[in-house]
Structures are given as structure tokens and as C-alpha cells.
Amino acid sequence: MNFKIIAILAVCIAMVAATGCMGINSVSSDKSSPAQEVVSIEDSGLQQSGSNIAYAGRQSELPMPTSGPSQSGTGTAISDTKIIRTAYLSIEVNDVSGSVETIKTLVSQKGGYISSTNIQKNYNNRLSGSVIIRVPASEFDSTLTGIKAIGTVKSISTQGQDITEEYVDLQAQKTSYQNQLAQYNEIMKKAEKVEDVILVQQQIDRVQTELNRLEGRLKYLDNRIDLSIITVNLQEPEPVGGETGHSFVSTINNGIAGFVGMIDAIIIILFTLLPLIIVGGIGYGIYRWRKGRKIVVPPEKSEKE
């Protein structure tokens, strides 16, 4: 009996002890998670702050290139479309020289200028010419209308090149290089060592060179966008019936030209065959000389008789 009571008490004590251990483990596990979470957050914060410090240290030596504005940002900064407009016209006019002067007057009224002119006479005595003009983009269509009214349009073509994407990209690169240049100038003010000054100055020169190149390209594109190019080819019409009729003076001139050409041909042939003529003459002279030296001697018998 005593043994049974002792066994039951032992089992109860063991169950209570096991329950207590489970409670302690659950409490300890619940407390360990927040602790680990706090530690991990603190560690990540230290790492993050450390990386910022390291980046700041690198930036104090040589700043990293600053990225330009985002595509959406540049879209709001440059909302208008950048288009280069050009046109090519071929016009038949009665007077090429007078038409060129008319185009000059028209272009001057539109606020443009003549880039180049060229007038020449063809093989059939017909004049032709070409005029390259630059006019403001806002006057492009009206200028074309005025030029087409000068004569009969034989052909016309217009083109519009959209360079908005390239222009926006160049503007973003320009902003980026300007930011880099400002950072390098600030570093130059704080530089004390000679090698640091030389290193920063090299970077300033590099960035300034790229910035100048971008600004030059942007100025060129602005000029092409603001002033459109129109090329006009002018030609006089062909005479009625094709070529002109018979001309007695032209026939005489052609005859004289043919006679002179014949004389030229004879002279060329003569001088070409001159070596053969000289050799032949020398050979004939030798032949005649040798033939002249031959003497016919009669037989003695015939002389005595």
C-alpha cells in the first residue's frame, strides 16, 4: 500500500515537473524572438550606416557620376517635340536669274537667308540653277507656298526628322555633367595635397570637355530645329519642237570646226609616222647611192673589133 502511494506521488511530481519545464521553454522561446529581432534590426542599421559612411568617404575623394533626371521628369521639362524639317523642290521657270532674285526677296520677308546659289548654262544653252535657303520653322509652310507660285512644280518632297529622344537624352547628360563639375569644384576647394589637386583637376578637365561637346551638339540641333532647310532646283523649259531650227551660221561654224579638225588629224598622223618616213628616206638614199656606183664595163674583144 505504501509502495502504491509512493508510486502515485512520484508520477504526479514527474508530471508537474514536465509541465513546468514546458512552460519555461515556451516562455524562453517567446522571449528570444523579440531579442533576435532587435539584434537583427540593430545590425542592419549599423551595416546601413556603415555603408553610407564608406560611400561618403569615397565621394569625398572622387564623386560618383550623378544620374540625370528621370524620363518622366525630362518629359515635363521639355514638353515640345523637336523636329528638323527639310524640303526639296524642282521648278520649271521662264527666267532662272529673275526667279532667284524673287526667292531672295521672299526669304528675306520670312526672316530667313540664302545659304548658297548656283546658276549655270547647259549644253543646249538653257540656264539652270539651285538655291539653298534657311527659314524659321514657323515660316516653313508659307515659304513653300510662295516658292511653288514662282513657276511649274515638277517634283517636291518634304521630310520631318523627330529628334526629341536624342535631345532629351543630351539635356539629361548635360545636367549630369554640370552636377559632377559642381562637385569636383567643391572638392578642389578642400584639397590640400598636390596629388589630390592634380587628380581632381584631371577629372574637372574631363567633365568640362564632355560638357562642351554636349553643348556644341545641342547648339547644332537647335539651329537645325529653328531654321528649316529648303533646296530649290530651277530650270528653264525646253524650246517648242525640241531643239532649235536650222542655222546657217551654225552650219558654217561646224564646217570650219570640221576643217580645223581635219588639219589637226593630218598633223597628228604626220608626226606619228615621221620616224618611219625618216628611216624610209635614209634607206632609199642608200639604195640610190649604191645603184649609182655600179659601172657597166664592155668586153675587150668588142673594143678591138
Same domain, 223 and 167: yes
Q: What is the pLDDT along the chain (305 residues), one digit of tens a residue?
A: 444 444 444 544 455 444 444 443 433 444 333 333 333 323 333 233 333 323 333 333 444 444 444 443 444 344 588 999 999 999 999 889 899 999 999 999 999 999 999 988 876 778 889 999 999 999 999 999 999 999 999 999 999 999 999 999 999 999 999 999 999 999 888 888 888 889 999 999 999 999 999 999 999 999 999 999 999 999 988 765 555 555 666 678 788 888 888 888 888 888 888 888 888 888 878 877 877 766 555 555 444 44
Same domain, 147 and 169: yes
Query: Are 93 and 236 in contact, with CB atoms under 8 Å apart?
Result: yes
Contacts of 111 (CB under 8 A, 6+ apart): 135, 136, 139
Same domain, 50 and 163: no
46 part of a folded domain: yes
Same domain, 1 and 100: no
Burial status of residue 214 (CB atoms within 10 A of its CB: 0-12, 13-18, 19 or more): buried
Examine the fold and report which residue of 22, 37, 61 is the final residue of a domain before the chain moves on: 61
266 part of a folded domain: no
Examine the fold and report which residue of 61, 90, 111 is the final residue of a domain before the chain moves on: 61
Q: Buried b vs exposed e over 223-240: b needs ≥16 C-beta within 10 Å?
A: ebbebbbbbbbbbbeeee
C-alpha cell at 133: 535657303
Torsion of CA 59, 63, 67, 69, to 10 degrees: 90
Question: Which pairing describes strands 227-235 and 83-92: parallel, antiparallel, or unpaired?
Answer: parallel
294 part of a folded domain: no
Q: How far apart are CA 273 and CA 265, in angstroms?
A: 12
Same domain, 121 and 220: yes
Which pLDDT value is given to residue 178?
94
Which pLDDT value is given to residue 20?
46
263 part of a folded domain: no
Same domain, 135 and 51: no
Secondary structure class of 230 (helix, strand, coil)? strand
268 part of a folded domain: no
> How big is the chain, counted in residues?
305
Structural domain containing residue 157:
67-239
Greatest pairwise CA separation for the chain in angstroms: 208
Which pLDDT value is given to residue 27?
36
105 part of a folded domain: yes
Q: Buried b vs exposed e over 195-208: b needs ≥16 C-beta within 10 Å?
A: eeeebbeebbeebe
Same domain, 4 and 86: no
Same domain, 5 and 21: yes
Same domain, 48 and 156: no
Which pLDDT value is given to residue 246?
55
Which pLDDT value is given to residue 80?
81
Which pLDDT value is given to residue 72?
38
252 part of a folded domain: no
Which pLDDT value is given to residue 37?
34
Which position has the grid cell 561654224? 253
Examine the fold and report which residue of 11, 46, 61 is the final residue of a domain before the chain moves on: 61
193 part of a folded domain: yes
Count structural domains, the chain: 2
Same domain, 82 and 153: yes
Same domain, 74 and 191: yes
Alpha helix (H) residue ranges in the chain: 2-61, 71-77, 96-109, 140-148, 164-190, 194-226, 248-293, 300-304
Same domain, 101 and 34: no
